[in-house]
Structure 1
Amino acid sequence: MTRLLPGGLLALALSCALMPAVAPALAQSAAARQRPIADTVSGMDMPPAPAPAPVPAAPAAPVASQISLPVAATNIAPGETITAAMLAEKAFPASMANQYPLAVNHGQLVGKVARRPLAAGNAIPVAAVAEAQLVTRGVATELRFEQDGLSIRALGVPLESGSLGAMVKLKNADSGKVVAGIVQADGSVKVSAP
C-alpha cells in the first residue's frame, strides 16, 4: 500500500530513489564542463585534455623587518654643528621609522645644528635638528647692496636670527632704518632696493 507523503518528504524520497540512476549522468556532465567546448562538440567520447602544468609562483619578496638609520656616534650637545664623523648607522625595527619622524639618511643631518642633546646610539628625530643660523639676532653682520655694478656695504644689526636663504630684518647701524634682506652663505645679508 502506497501512502502519500507531504510535499517535502515526497521530493526527498524521490531524489533518494532516483540517485543511483542519475549519478553516472551527473559525473559525465561534470567532466564535460571541464573540457573546452571544441572537445565536447567534436567528440563526446574523447578523453579530457591534460591540465596545463602549474607555473611555480615567484617567491615573495621578504618584508624588511629592520631599517638602518643614522645615529649619533657620540653624545652631541645642543648648538653643535653635526658632521659626518659624528654619525654612525644602526638597525632599528622598520615600524619605528613609520611611527616617528626620524632622519633616515646622513644628508638630513650633516651641516645642521642639534636643537637638544642627542644621545649616542639613539635614532635622531627630524625635529631635534635645525638649519645652522648664519645670522644671529643682536650680533652685527655685513649688509650688502649690489645693483648694476654699484656695490654698497654697511653694518647692520639683525632683529631676528636666520639660516641660509632666510629673509631677515636688520637695523642699519648708520641710518637706523630697518631693512630686509636674504641671508647669504658667508653670513652677510643681501639687501634689495626698497
Structure 2
Amino acid sequence: MMFCRVRSILRRAAPAAIALLAFASAPVSATEMGYAVVPTTTIYPGETVSGDRLQEVEVTNPNLKGDYAKSIGQVSGMISKRTLLPGRTISVSALREPYTVTRGSSIRMIFTVGEMTISAAGSPLEDGMTGQLIRVRNMDSGVIVSGTVLKDGTIHVATK
C-alpha cells in the first residue's frame, strides 16, 4: 500500500521536476553574459597595463559578479595596484590612473589672484594625478606649498 502511494506521488511530481531541471540547465548565451578582460601574462603592481597583454573572453560563469573589466579599452593604459594573474578577471578597483607628476621632477607652479598670475619652478614632494592636491617645494625659496595637479602637469597653488 505504501509503495503505491510513493509511486503515485513520484508520477505526479516527475513532469514538474523535469521542467525545473530543463530550465536550470538552459544555456545562457555570451550576449547575455557579456565579456571579461583577462591578462595573458602576469602583470605586477606598478606596471602599465597594455592591450597586447590582455584578451577579452566570454563570460560563462553566471555567478561572476563585481566590478570586473568588460573591455580592453577600459583598462589599457592604467597602472596595476595588485598582481594580475593570467586567465583571471581584472577588478577595476585593482587599477589606477597614471600619475601626471612624479616626486622629484621639475614642474611649473602657478598662483593666480584676480588677473595677476605668478609662476615659479617647483618640485613635487609626492606623486600626483590630475585633480589631486599635493605638496610642492618652490625651487627658488625652498617654501613648501600645496597645489592641485592640472592636466598639463603644472601645479595650481592653493591660497590659504
TM-score by length of 1: 0.55
Distance 2:118 2:76 in 1: 34
Distance 1:85 1:125 in 2: 18
Q: Quick check: 1:135 aligned with 2:94?
A: no
Quote the sequence identity (%).
Answer: 34
Equivalent residue runs for 1:66-105 within 5 Å: 66-92=33-59, 93-96=61-64, 98=65, 100-105=66-71
SS for the counterpart of 1:127 is helix
SS for the counterpart of 2:100 is strand
Q: Quick check: 1:106 aligned with 2:69?
A: no
> Higher relative contact order at CA 8 Å, sep ≥6: structure 1 or structure 2?
2
**CA RMSD, Structure 1 to Structure 2 (Å):** 3.0
Distance 1:144 1:73 in 2: 43
Q: Is the 8 A contact 1:67 1:94 kept in 2?
A: no
Q: 1:74/1:149 Cα in 2 relative to 1: closer, same or farther (>3 Å)?
A: farther
The residue type equivalent to 1:102 in the other structure is Y
Q: How far did 1:69 drift?
A: 0.5
- Structure 2 equivalent of residue 159 of structure 1: 125
Where do 5+ consecutive residues of structure 1 fail to align?
Answer: 1-59
Cα shift readout 1:161-182 (whole Å, capped 9, x = no counterpart): 2111111121212222222211
Equivalent residue runs for 1:3-14 within 5 Å: none
SS for the counterpart of 1:134 is coil
SS for the counterpart of 2:93 is helix
Q: How far did 1:77 drift?
A: 3.4
Q: How far did 1:70 drift?
A: 1.1
Distance 1:89 1:82 in 2: 14
Distance 1:107 1:168 in 2: 29
Question: Residue 91 of structure 2: which of 119, 122, 125 is its match?
Answer: 125
- Structure 1 equivalent of residue 147 of structure 2: 181
Equivalent residue runs for 1:45-60 within 5 Å: none
Q: How far did 1:105 drift?
A: 3.4
Q: Is the 8 A contact 1:158 1:170 kept in 2?
A: yes
Pairs aligned (count):
133
Where do 5+ consecutive residues of structure 2 fail to align?
Answer: 1-22
Q: Is the 8 A contact 1:144 1:152 kept in 2?
A: yes
Q: How far did 1:89 drift?
A: 0.5
Q: 1:86/1:142 Cα in 2 relative to 1: closer, same or farther (>3 Å)?
A: farther
Following superposition, which runs of at least 4 residues in structure 1 exceed 6 angstroms of deviation?
none
The residue type equivalent to 2:96 in the other structure is A
Which structure has the bigger radius of gyration? Answer: 1
